[in-house]
Amino acid sequence: MLESAQALIRKTAEKMKLDEETIKRLIEPEFAHEFALAITMDNGKKKVLKGWRIQHNSALGPYKGGIRFHKDTVREEVQALATLMSIKCSVAGLPYGGSKGGIAVDPKTLSKTELERLSRAFAVKIAPVIGVDLDVPAPDVNTTPQIMAWMLDEYQKIKGYKSPATFTGKPVSMGGSLGRTEATGRGGLFVLQALLEKTRHRVSRPPHPKGTQAIDSKQVSSSFQDLSIAVQGFGNVGYYFAKLAHEAGFKIVAVSDSRGGVYIKDGLTPETTMKCKKEKGSVAGCYCRGSVCDLKSGKTITNDELLELPVDILVPAALENVINEKNMKNIKAKIIVEMANGPITEEAYEYLSKKSLPAGRQGVIIVPDVLANSGGVTVSYLEWVQGKAGYWWSEKKVNLKLEEMIIRAFEAIWNKSVAKKMPLKQAAFEVAIERITSAMV
Protein backbone atom coordinates (compact mmCIF):
# COMPACT_ATOMS: atom_id res chain seq x y z
CA MET A 1 0.00 0.00 0.00
CA LEU A 2 2.82 2.41 0.86
CA GLU A 3 4.70 1.60 -2.33
CA SER A 4 1.53 2.14 -4.36
CA ALA A 5 0.80 5.53 -2.75
CA GLN A 6 4.37 6.71 -3.24
CA ALA A 7 4.46 5.41 -6.82
CA LEU A 8 1.29 7.35 -7.67
CA ILE A 9 2.81 10.56 -6.35
CA ARG A 10 6.14 9.97 -8.08
CA LYS A 11 4.48 9.09 -11.39
CA THR A 12 2.33 12.22 -11.29
CA ALA A 13 5.18 14.47 -10.13
CA GLU A 14 7.49 13.21 -12.87
CA LYS A 15 4.84 13.92 -15.51
CA MET A 16 4.62 17.43 -14.02
CA LYS A 17 8.42 17.64 -14.46
CA LEU A 18 9.12 18.32 -10.78
CA ASP A 19 12.70 17.97 -9.60
CA GLU A 20 13.87 14.99 -7.54
CA GLU A 21 14.22 16.90 -4.25
CA THR A 22 10.66 18.19 -4.51
CA ILE A 23 9.44 14.66 -5.21
CA LYS A 24 11.26 13.40 -2.12
CA ARG A 25 9.54 16.06 -0.01
CA LEU A 26 6.20 14.93 -1.42
CA ILE A 27 6.90 11.29 -0.60
CA GLU A 28 8.75 11.23 2.72
CA PRO A 29 6.91 12.02 5.99
CA GLU A 30 8.05 15.00 8.03
CA PHE A 31 7.70 13.10 11.32
CA ALA A 32 7.12 9.45 12.27
CA HIS A 33 6.26 8.75 15.92
CA GLU A 34 6.22 5.17 17.24
CA PHE A 35 4.99 4.23 20.70
CA ALA A 36 4.83 1.25 23.03
CA LEU A 37 1.55 1.35 24.95
CA ALA A 38 1.38 -0.61 28.19
CA ILE A 39 -2.21 -0.98 29.40
CA THR A 40 -3.65 -2.84 32.36
CA MET A 41 -6.20 -5.48 31.38
CA ASP A 42 -9.27 -6.25 33.46
CA ASN A 43 -7.51 -9.29 34.91
CA GLY A 44 -4.73 -7.06 36.27
CA LYS A 45 -2.10 -8.17 33.76
CA LYS A 46 -0.15 -5.74 31.60
CA LYS A 47 -0.33 -5.84 27.81
CA VAL A 48 2.06 -3.96 25.53
CA LEU A 49 0.77 -2.73 22.17
CA LYS A 50 2.46 -0.80 19.40
CA GLY A 51 1.12 2.48 18.04
CA TRP A 52 2.06 5.17 15.53
CA ARG A 53 1.34 8.75 14.52
CA ILE A 54 2.79 9.63 11.11
CA GLN A 55 2.79 13.31 10.11
CA HIS A 56 3.36 13.47 6.38
CA ASN A 57 3.20 17.04 5.07
CA SER A 58 2.25 20.39 6.62
CA ALA A 59 2.76 22.76 3.67
CA LEU A 60 -0.94 23.64 3.50
CA GLY A 61 -1.64 23.72 7.24
CA PRO A 62 -1.90 21.55 10.38
CA TYR A 63 -1.71 17.80 9.94
CA LYS A 64 -5.11 16.09 9.74
CA GLY A 65 -5.94 12.41 9.88
CA GLY A 66 -7.76 9.63 11.68
CA ILE A 67 -6.70 7.03 14.23
CA ARG A 68 -7.41 3.38 13.51
CA PHE A 69 -7.49 0.35 15.81
CA HIS A 70 -6.89 -2.84 13.82
CA LYS A 71 -5.03 -6.07 14.51
CA ASP A 72 -3.21 -5.89 11.16
CA THR A 73 -2.11 -2.25 11.45
CA VAL A 74 1.58 -1.72 10.69
CA ARG A 75 3.77 1.35 10.33
CA GLU A 76 3.85 1.12 6.52
CA GLU A 77 0.05 1.18 6.33
CA VAL A 78 -0.17 4.20 8.64
CA GLN A 79 2.46 6.04 6.60
CA ALA A 80 0.63 5.26 3.34
CA LEU A 81 -2.64 6.55 4.76
CA ALA A 82 -0.94 9.71 6.06
CA THR A 83 0.50 10.29 2.59
CA LEU A 84 -2.91 9.89 0.97
CA MET A 85 -4.44 12.23 3.58
CA SER A 86 -2.09 14.97 2.36
CA ILE A 87 -3.43 14.39 -1.15
CA LYS A 88 -7.06 14.15 -0.01
CA CYS A 89 -6.98 17.35 2.05
CA SER A 90 -5.37 19.18 -0.86
CA VAL A 91 -7.92 17.78 -3.33
CA ALA A 92 -10.73 18.93 -1.04
CA GLY A 93 -9.23 22.43 -0.89
CA LEU A 94 -8.72 22.27 2.88
CA PRO A 95 -5.98 24.16 4.77
CA TYR A 96 -4.56 20.89 6.10
CA GLY A 97 -1.64 18.56 5.62
CA GLY A 98 -1.93 14.81 6.10
CA SER A 99 -1.35 12.52 9.07
CA LYS A 100 -2.59 9.18 10.38
CA GLY A 101 -2.50 7.24 13.61
CA GLY A 102 -2.92 3.59 14.43
CA ILE A 103 -2.62 0.88 17.05
CA ALA A 104 -2.05 -2.79 16.26
CA VAL A 105 -4.98 -4.20 18.25
CA ASP A 106 -8.28 -5.97 17.71
CA PRO A 107 -10.70 -3.76 19.66
CA LYS A 108 -13.34 -6.49 19.57
CA THR A 109 -11.23 -8.45 22.06
CA LEU A 110 -11.24 -5.58 24.58
CA SER A 111 -13.84 -4.75 27.19
CA LYS A 112 -15.19 -1.21 27.29
CA THR A 113 -12.92 -0.34 30.23
CA GLU A 114 -9.88 -1.79 28.46
CA LEU A 115 -10.76 0.17 25.33
CA GLU A 116 -10.99 3.36 27.36
CA ARG A 117 -7.62 2.75 29.01
CA LEU A 118 -6.05 2.13 25.61
CA SER A 119 -7.59 5.27 24.13
CA ARG A 120 -6.40 7.42 27.01
CA ALA A 121 -2.92 5.84 26.90
CA PHE A 122 -2.63 6.70 23.22
CA ALA A 123 -3.77 10.28 23.90
CA VAL A 124 -0.97 10.59 26.48
CA LYS A 125 1.61 9.44 23.92
CA ILE A 126 0.47 11.76 21.12
CA ALA A 127 -0.31 14.79 23.33
CA PRO A 128 3.13 16.42 22.78
CA VAL A 129 2.82 16.23 18.98
CA ILE A 130 -0.83 17.20 18.35
CA GLY A 131 -2.78 20.40 18.87
CA VAL A 132 -5.47 22.60 17.37
CA ASP A 133 -2.97 24.26 15.01
CA LEU A 134 -0.48 21.39 14.83
CA ASP A 135 -2.19 18.03 14.24
CA VAL A 136 -5.92 17.30 14.49
CA PRO A 137 -6.87 13.60 14.93
CA ALA A 138 -10.24 12.06 14.09
CA PRO A 139 -11.93 8.62 14.02
CA ASP A 140 -10.95 6.00 11.46
CA VAL A 141 -11.36 2.21 11.24
CA ASN A 142 -12.77 0.79 14.50
CA THR A 143 -12.65 4.13 16.33
CA THR A 144 -15.73 6.10 17.31
CA PRO A 145 -16.94 9.45 18.67
CA GLN A 146 -16.76 7.89 22.16
CA ILE A 147 -13.09 7.02 21.66
CA MET A 148 -12.43 10.59 20.48
CA ALA A 149 -14.22 11.83 23.60
CA TRP A 150 -11.91 9.78 25.85
CA MET A 151 -8.83 10.99 23.98
CA LEU A 152 -9.93 14.62 24.06
CA ASP A 153 -10.69 14.42 27.77
CA GLU A 154 -7.23 12.96 28.49
CA TYR A 155 -5.54 15.54 26.26
CA GLN A 156 -7.33 18.41 28.02
CA LYS A 157 -6.31 17.05 31.43
CA ILE A 158 -2.67 17.03 30.30
CA LYS A 159 -2.85 20.54 28.85
CA GLY A 160 -4.94 22.01 31.64
CA TYR A 161 -7.41 23.81 29.39
CA LYS A 162 -10.34 23.11 27.07
CA SER A 163 -9.47 22.58 23.40
CA PRO A 164 -12.47 21.06 21.59
CA ALA A 165 -11.01 21.73 18.14
CA THR A 166 -7.98 19.48 18.73
CA PHE A 167 -10.04 16.37 17.89
CA THR A 168 -12.85 16.06 15.35
CA GLY A 169 -15.48 13.37 14.99
CA LYS A 170 -16.46 13.90 18.64
CA PRO A 171 -19.94 13.56 20.13
CA VAL A 172 -22.02 16.70 19.54
CA SER A 173 -22.18 17.19 23.33
CA MET A 174 -18.39 17.66 23.38
CA GLY A 175 -18.21 20.04 20.43
CA GLY A 176 -18.80 17.68 17.54
CA SER A 177 -20.56 18.86 14.40
CA LEU A 178 -24.06 18.03 13.29
CA GLY A 179 -24.02 16.22 9.94
CA ARG A 180 -20.69 14.48 10.56
CA THR A 181 -22.16 10.95 10.73
CA GLU A 182 -23.59 11.13 7.20
CA ALA A 183 -20.88 13.38 5.75
CA THR A 184 -18.77 10.84 3.83
CA GLY A 185 -21.76 9.21 2.13
CA ARG A 186 -23.40 12.58 1.49
CA GLY A 187 -20.24 13.99 -0.06
CA GLY A 188 -19.92 10.98 -2.36
CA LEU A 189 -23.45 11.52 -3.60
CA PHE A 190 -22.77 15.22 -4.27
CA VAL A 191 -19.77 14.21 -6.40
CA LEU A 192 -21.81 11.63 -8.32
CA GLN A 193 -24.55 14.16 -9.04
CA ALA A 194 -22.00 16.72 -10.22
CA LEU A 195 -20.41 14.09 -12.47
CA LEU A 196 -23.75 13.25 -14.04
CA GLU A 197 -24.29 16.93 -14.81
CA LYS A 198 -20.97 17.05 -16.66
CA THR A 199 -21.23 13.79 -18.55
CA ARG A 200 -24.96 13.93 -19.22
CA HIS A 201 -24.72 10.22 -18.56
CA ARG A 202 -28.29 9.30 -19.56
CA VAL A 203 -29.65 11.98 -17.21
CA SER A 204 -28.46 15.19 -15.64
CA ARG A 205 -29.08 16.30 -12.09
CA PRO A 206 -32.11 18.62 -11.94
CA PRO A 207 -31.46 22.07 -10.49
CA HIS A 208 -32.59 22.62 -6.93
CA PRO A 209 -33.70 25.92 -5.42
CA LYS A 210 -30.93 28.04 -3.98
CA GLY A 211 -30.56 27.48 -0.25
CA THR A 212 -31.93 23.94 -0.26
CA GLN A 213 -30.12 20.63 -0.12
CA ALA A 214 -29.66 18.73 -3.37
CA ILE A 215 -30.76 15.53 -1.67
CA ASP A 216 -33.58 16.90 0.46
CA SER A 217 -36.37 14.32 0.33
CA LYS A 218 -38.74 17.12 -0.73
CA GLN A 219 -36.60 17.67 -3.83
CA VAL A 220 -36.54 14.02 -4.93
CA SER A 221 -36.19 13.69 -8.69
CA SER A 222 -37.75 10.86 -10.67
CA SER A 223 -35.17 11.42 -13.45
CA PHE A 224 -32.64 9.25 -11.60
CA GLN A 225 -34.95 6.25 -11.32
CA ASP A 226 -33.55 4.48 -14.38
CA LEU A 227 -29.99 4.63 -12.95
CA SER A 228 -29.14 1.53 -10.93
CA ILE A 229 -26.55 1.44 -8.13
CA ALA A 230 -24.84 -1.46 -6.34
CA VAL A 231 -23.09 -0.69 -3.04
CA GLN A 232 -20.48 -3.05 -1.62
CA GLY A 233 -20.16 -2.34 2.08
CA PHE A 234 -23.16 -1.47 4.25
CA GLY A 235 -21.40 0.22 7.13
CA ASN A 236 -21.61 3.92 7.89
CA VAL A 237 -20.31 5.11 4.51
CA GLY A 238 -22.11 2.65 2.27
CA TYR A 239 -25.38 2.87 4.17
CA TYR A 240 -25.65 6.64 4.09
CA PHE A 241 -24.58 6.79 0.44
CA ALA A 242 -27.31 4.26 -0.41
CA LYS A 243 -29.93 5.93 1.78
CA LEU A 244 -29.33 9.43 0.44
CA ALA A 245 -29.03 8.23 -3.16
CA HIS A 246 -32.35 6.41 -2.76
CA GLU A 247 -33.93 9.62 -1.46
CA ALA A 248 -32.52 11.46 -4.49
CA GLY A 249 -34.31 9.07 -6.83
CA PHE A 250 -31.60 6.55 -7.73
CA LYS A 251 -32.48 2.86 -7.79
CA ILE A 252 -30.40 0.90 -5.26
CA VAL A 253 -30.51 -2.68 -6.56
CA ALA A 254 -27.85 -4.36 -4.41
CA VAL A 255 -26.02 -3.91 -1.11
CA SER A 256 -23.70 -6.18 0.85
CA ASP A 257 -21.73 -6.51 4.06
CA SER A 258 -18.91 -8.86 5.06
CA ARG A 259 -21.30 -11.84 5.18
CA GLY A 260 -22.87 -11.37 1.77
CA GLY A 261 -25.52 -9.28 0.08
CA VAL A 262 -28.88 -9.03 -1.64
CA TYR A 263 -29.94 -8.15 -5.17
CA ILE A 264 -33.40 -6.79 -5.95
CA LYS A 265 -33.76 -5.89 -9.61
CA ASP A 266 -36.60 -3.43 -9.02
CA GLY A 267 -34.71 -1.66 -6.22
CA LEU A 268 -34.52 -1.99 -2.44
CA THR A 269 -35.10 0.42 0.44
CA PRO A 270 -31.85 1.07 2.37
CA GLU A 271 -33.50 2.16 5.65
CA THR A 272 -35.66 -0.97 5.89
CA THR A 273 -32.70 -3.10 4.83
CA MET A 274 -30.55 -1.63 7.61
CA LYS A 275 -33.29 -2.30 10.15
CA CYS A 276 -33.43 -5.90 8.94
CA LYS A 277 -29.63 -6.19 9.08
CA LYS A 278 -29.60 -5.08 12.72
CA GLU A 279 -32.20 -7.72 13.55
CA LYS A 280 -30.58 -10.57 11.58
CA GLY A 281 -26.94 -9.55 11.98
CA SER A 282 -26.36 -9.48 8.23
CA VAL A 283 -27.72 -7.99 5.01
CA ALA A 284 -28.03 -11.47 3.48
CA GLY A 285 -31.70 -12.45 3.52
CA CYS A 286 -32.97 -8.86 3.83
CA TYR A 287 -35.11 -8.47 0.70
CA CYS A 288 -36.68 -5.17 1.67
CA ARG A 289 -38.78 -2.84 -0.46
CA GLY A 290 -40.73 -0.04 1.14
CA SER A 291 -41.56 -1.12 4.67
CA VAL A 292 -41.80 -4.84 3.83
CA CYS A 293 -39.11 -7.54 3.64
CA ASP A 294 -40.23 -10.43 1.42
CA LEU A 295 -38.15 -13.48 0.45
CA LYS A 296 -39.76 -13.42 -3.02
CA SER A 297 -38.43 -9.94 -3.79
CA GLY A 298 -34.83 -10.78 -4.62
CA LYS A 299 -31.89 -13.14 -4.22
CA THR A 300 -28.81 -13.54 -2.06
CA ILE A 301 -25.47 -12.72 -3.71
CA THR A 302 -21.82 -12.76 -2.70
CA ASN A 303 -19.60 -9.70 -2.51
CA ASP A 304 -17.80 -10.85 -5.65
CA GLU A 305 -21.09 -11.23 -7.53
CA LEU A 306 -22.17 -7.74 -6.52
CA LEU A 307 -19.13 -6.19 -8.19
CA GLU A 308 -20.00 -7.83 -11.52
CA LEU A 309 -23.68 -6.90 -11.64
CA PRO A 310 -25.03 -5.14 -14.77
CA VAL A 311 -25.56 -1.79 -13.02
CA ASP A 312 -24.95 1.80 -14.10
CA ILE A 313 -23.02 2.80 -10.98
CA LEU A 314 -20.82 0.65 -8.75
CA VAL A 315 -19.88 1.89 -5.29
CA PRO A 316 -17.15 -0.11 -3.51
CA ALA A 317 -17.44 1.19 0.05
CA ALA A 318 -15.75 -1.52 2.10
CA LEU A 319 -12.28 -2.94 1.53
CA GLU A 320 -9.26 -2.11 -0.59
CA ASN A 321 -8.25 -4.02 -3.74
CA VAL A 322 -11.66 -5.64 -4.31
CA ILE A 323 -11.53 -4.81 -8.03
CA ASN A 324 -8.42 -6.52 -9.34
CA GLU A 325 -6.92 -8.52 -12.19
CA LYS A 326 -9.27 -11.44 -11.42
CA ASN A 327 -12.52 -9.55 -11.97
CA MET A 328 -11.63 -6.34 -13.82
CA LYS A 329 -12.79 -7.66 -17.21
CA ASN A 330 -16.17 -8.56 -15.72
CA ILE A 331 -17.00 -5.09 -14.40
CA LYS A 332 -20.12 -3.87 -16.18
CA ALA A 333 -20.79 -0.57 -14.40
CA LYS A 334 -20.35 2.63 -16.41
CA ILE A 335 -19.28 4.64 -13.35
CA ILE A 336 -17.30 3.51 -10.30
CA VAL A 337 -17.38 5.75 -7.22
CA GLU A 338 -14.50 4.80 -4.89
CA MET A 339 -16.03 5.31 -1.45
CA ALA A 340 -13.54 2.86 0.12
CA ASN A 341 -9.83 3.65 0.25
CA GLY A 342 -8.03 2.04 -2.69
CA PRO A 343 -10.75 -0.41 -3.81
CA ILE A 344 -9.16 -0.80 -7.27
CA THR A 345 -5.69 -2.29 -7.71
CA GLU A 346 -3.17 -0.52 -9.90
CA GLU A 347 -3.42 -3.20 -12.60
CA ALA A 348 -7.22 -3.02 -12.65
CA TYR A 349 -7.11 0.75 -12.64
CA GLU A 350 -4.77 0.78 -15.65
CA TYR A 351 -7.10 -1.60 -17.49
CA LEU A 352 -10.27 0.33 -16.67
CA SER A 353 -8.83 3.84 -17.00
CA LYS A 354 -8.07 3.30 -20.67
CA LYS A 355 -11.78 3.74 -21.14
CA SER A 356 -12.34 6.30 -18.40
CA LEU A 357 -11.41 9.59 -20.11
CA PRO A 358 -14.31 12.05 -19.73
CA ALA A 359 -14.11 12.97 -23.41
CA GLY A 360 -14.87 9.37 -24.37
CA ARG A 361 -17.85 8.79 -22.12
CA GLN A 362 -18.24 5.31 -23.60
CA GLY A 363 -16.69 3.15 -20.91
CA VAL A 364 -15.92 3.31 -17.21
CA ILE A 365 -15.51 6.61 -15.40
CA ILE A 366 -13.68 6.17 -12.08
CA VAL A 367 -14.24 8.76 -9.37
CA PRO A 368 -11.08 8.46 -7.20
CA ASP A 369 -11.30 7.88 -3.46
CA VAL A 370 -9.33 11.04 -2.63
CA LEU A 371 -12.30 13.00 -4.01
CA ALA A 372 -15.27 10.64 -3.60
CA ASN A 373 -14.86 10.02 0.15
CA SER A 374 -13.54 13.46 1.10
CA GLY A 375 -16.89 14.51 2.57
CA GLY A 376 -15.86 13.17 5.97
CA VAL A 377 -12.67 15.20 6.25
CA THR A 378 -14.48 18.24 4.83
CA VAL A 379 -17.03 18.18 7.65
CA SER A 380 -14.19 17.47 10.08
CA TYR A 381 -12.71 20.75 8.85
CA LEU A 382 -16.07 22.45 9.44
CA GLU A 383 -16.14 20.95 12.95
CA TRP A 384 -12.62 22.30 13.55
CA VAL A 385 -13.71 25.77 12.39
CA GLN A 386 -16.75 25.68 14.67
CA GLY A 387 -14.65 24.52 17.62
CA LYS A 388 -12.07 27.26 17.12
CA ALA A 389 -14.83 29.88 16.89
CA GLY A 390 -16.86 28.45 19.76
CA TYR A 391 -19.98 28.70 17.61
CA TRP A 392 -21.86 25.69 16.22
CA TRP A 393 -24.07 25.63 13.12
CA SER A 394 -27.32 23.90 12.23
CA GLU A 395 -27.15 20.63 10.31
CA LYS A 396 -28.67 22.35 7.28
CA LYS A 397 -25.87 24.93 7.25
CA VAL A 398 -23.21 22.23 7.59
CA ASN A 399 -24.70 20.27 4.68
CA LEU A 400 -24.90 23.34 2.46
CA LYS A 401 -21.27 24.21 3.19
CA LEU A 402 -20.26 20.60 2.48
CA GLU A 403 -22.03 20.70 -0.88
CA GLU A 404 -20.44 24.00 -1.83
CA MET A 405 -16.93 22.85 -0.92
CA ILE A 406 -17.09 19.40 -2.47
CA ILE A 407 -18.58 20.68 -5.74
CA ARG A 408 -15.79 23.26 -5.91
CA ALA A 409 -13.26 20.45 -5.44
CA PHE A 410 -14.92 18.37 -8.15
CA GLU A 411 -14.95 21.30 -10.60
CA ALA A 412 -11.20 21.85 -10.25
CA ILE A 413 -10.49 18.18 -10.94
CA TRP A 414 -12.99 17.91 -13.78
CA ASN A 415 -11.57 20.99 -15.51
CA LYS A 416 -8.03 19.61 -15.22
CA SER A 417 -9.21 16.22 -16.53
CA VAL A 418 -10.89 17.72 -19.59
CA ALA A 419 -8.16 20.25 -20.35
CA LYS A 420 -5.37 17.65 -20.24
CA LYS A 421 -7.46 14.68 -21.44
CA MET A 422 -6.57 12.54 -18.45
CA PRO A 423 -8.55 10.30 -16.06
CA LEU A 424 -10.06 11.90 -12.97
CA LYS A 425 -7.61 10.15 -10.64
CA GLN A 426 -4.55 11.54 -12.41
CA ALA A 427 -6.19 14.97 -12.52
CA ALA A 428 -6.92 14.80 -8.78
CA PHE A 429 -3.30 14.00 -7.95
CA GLU A 430 -2.04 16.80 -10.21
CA VAL A 431 -4.37 19.34 -8.59
CA ALA A 432 -3.30 18.17 -5.12
CA ILE A 433 0.42 18.24 -5.89
CA GLU A 434 0.21 21.67 -7.53
CA ARG A 435 -1.40 23.07 -4.38
CA ILE A 436 1.07 21.42 -2.00
CA THR A 437 4.19 22.40 -3.94
CA SER A 438 2.99 25.97 -4.35
CA ALA A 439 2.84 26.23 -0.54
CA MET A 440 6.26 24.68 0.08
CA VAL A 441 9.07 26.98 1.18
Q: Which long-range contacts (CB under 8 A, 24 or more apart) does 385-388 make?
A: 386/165, 386/175, 386/177, 387/132, 387/164, 387/165, 387/168, 387/175, 388/132, 388/165
Distance CA 14, CA 141 (A): 33
Using CB atoms within 10 A of its CB, is residue 389 exposed (0-12), middle (13-18) or buried (19+)? Answer: exposed
Distance CA 173, CA 162 (A): 14
Distance CA 106, CA 110 (A): 7
Which candidate in 64, 88, 100, 334 is catalytic?
100
DSSP string, 133-156: TTEEEEE-TT--HHHHHHHHHHHH
The one-letter amino acid at 133: D
Instruction: Show the beta-strand stretches assigned E in 332-393.
Output: 335-337, 365-367
* Pairing mode, strands 251-257 and 228-232: parallel
* Catalytic site includes residue 11: no
* Alpha carbon separation from 116 to 76, 111, 197, 412 (Å, rounded): 26, 9, 46, 42
* Alpha carbon separation from 150 to 41, 113, 123, 136 (Å, rounded): 17, 11, 8, 15
Output the CA angle 7-12-16, nearest 5 degrees: 145
What letters, b where the CB count within 10 A reaches 16 and e where it falls short, cover 234-250?
A: bebbbbbbbbbbbbbbb
Separate counts of helices (H) and strands (E) for the chain: 14, 14
The one-letter amino acid at 403: E
* Pairing mode, strands 63-70 and 97-104: parallel
Residues designated catalytic: 100
